[in-house]
């Protein structure tokens, strides 16, 4: 029994080394150098080749390296035979909150404008409005953590959710709820899972519900945004700015218009990556559960 790391967008040797330290008697193999596919009972997946799990006849469970599960759900080879898991760590939540709040604070407190004033030797106090409203599309483990940190700083929060209510964050559901959240948000943060109901949820119509000063922050998946509709909304001053960390195609093609658009901030999918030590600890727990047959179908 063993673990396979199938992670194609970053080196995974460090994570493999940690797993071997925690589990010295367990086979830990790194894609594409899988020499003993029969030993694999747990596969850790991130941007994996579709169908790769068919190579592992004794596979019991798969886990996403991060919070997103869309790459696993989209792989037709991964079905009910396998328990489907994800790695959620405190460091992942903290880094997501840091990313979102870094931009919100920089923008709301006029820090970029003050930097420009400094270059011009200009001393002018810029007023900030009352506490802004940060809207969330999705209030799962990541969204709730970020929303809580926003509340800690005195910001107002609202959220669009499938069904749940929350004691600290007003939640709205359905199409009418989505409209309310868009209308209320000074900063609109996309953290909802990507599925058939949320694909291109940011489109011409939803953008039209936003305020002209709204800033979109997409840290979910590139597929949440209709790219042409977003560019049109920015060009026509429907919203003010977009901060994008995720894209339909990654890496973002060199000729993509997002790179040069003056109202778009591009970052290379770095909003939240979990600390390797915390990630390894979660994977070890999953492996031990698999080894103890906790995920067997009959249980």
37-40 long-range contacts, Cβ below 8 Å, gap at least 24? 37/4, 39/1, 39/2, 40/2, 40/3, 40/4
> Phi/psi at 38 (nearest 5 deg)?
-65, -25
Q: Residue 129 — very low, low, confident or very high, per pLDDT cuts 50/70/90? A: confident
pLDDT at 296 over 90: no
User: Could you say which of 71, 169, 221, 224 is catalytic?
Assistant: 221
Over residues 146-161, the pLDDT tens digits come to 999 999 999 999 999 9
Q: What is the model's pLDDT at position 297? A: 41
Q: Residue 76 — very low, low, confident or very high, per pLDDT cuts 50/70/90? A: very high
pLDDT at 298 over 70: no
Q: Residue 295 — very low, low, confident or very high, per pLDDT cuts 50/70/90? A: low
Query: Is residue 10 among the annotated active site residues?
Result: no
Q: What is the model's pLDDT at position 272? A: 95
Query: Is residue 288 among the annotated active site residues?
Result: no
E strand residue ranges, 65-109: 83-86
| Mean of pLDDT values over 116-142 | 96
| Mean of pLDDT values over 44-60 | 97
| Mean of pLDDT values over 192-219 | 98
Give the chain's domains with CATH numbers: 2-89+274-291 (3.40.50.720), 90-266 (3.40.50.720)
């Amino acid at each position: 029994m063993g673990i396979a790391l199938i992670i194609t967008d970053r080196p995974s040797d460090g994570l493999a080394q940690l797993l071997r330290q925690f589990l010295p008697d367990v086979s830990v193999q790194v894609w594409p150098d899988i020499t003993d596919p029969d030993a694999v009972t747990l596969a850790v997946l991130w941007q994996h080749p579709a169908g790769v799990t068919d190579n592992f006849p004794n596979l019991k469970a798969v886990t996403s390296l991060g919070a997103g599960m869309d790459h696993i759900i989209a792989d037709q080879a991964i079905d009910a035979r396998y328990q489907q898991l994800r790695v959620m760590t405190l460091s992942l939540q903290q880094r997501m909150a840091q990313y979102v709040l870094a931009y919100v604070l920089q923008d709301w407190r006029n820090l970029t404008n003050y930097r420009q004033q400094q270059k011009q030797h200009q001393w002018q106090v810029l007023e900030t409005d009352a506490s802004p409203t940060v809207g969330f599309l999705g209030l799962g483990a990541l969204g709730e953590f970020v929303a809580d940190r926003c509340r800690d700083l005195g910001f107002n929060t609202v959220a669009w959710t499938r069904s749940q209510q929350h004691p600290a964050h007003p939640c709205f559901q359905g199409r009418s709820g989505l409209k309310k959240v868009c209308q209320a948000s000074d900063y609109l943060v996309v953290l909802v899972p990507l599925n058939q109901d949320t694909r291109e949820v940011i489109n011409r119509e939803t953008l039209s519900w936003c305020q002209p000063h709204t800033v979109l922050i997409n840290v979910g998946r590139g597929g949440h945004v209709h790219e042409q509709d977003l560019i049109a909304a920015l060009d026509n001053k429907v919203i003010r700015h977009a901060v994008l960390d995720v894209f339909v195609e990654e890496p973002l093609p060199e000729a993509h218009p997002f790179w040069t658009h003056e109202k778009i901030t591009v970052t290379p999918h770095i909003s939240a990556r979990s600390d390797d030590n915390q990630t390894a600890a979660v994977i070890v727990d999953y492996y031990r559960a698999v080894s103890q047959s906790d995920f067997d179908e009959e249980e």
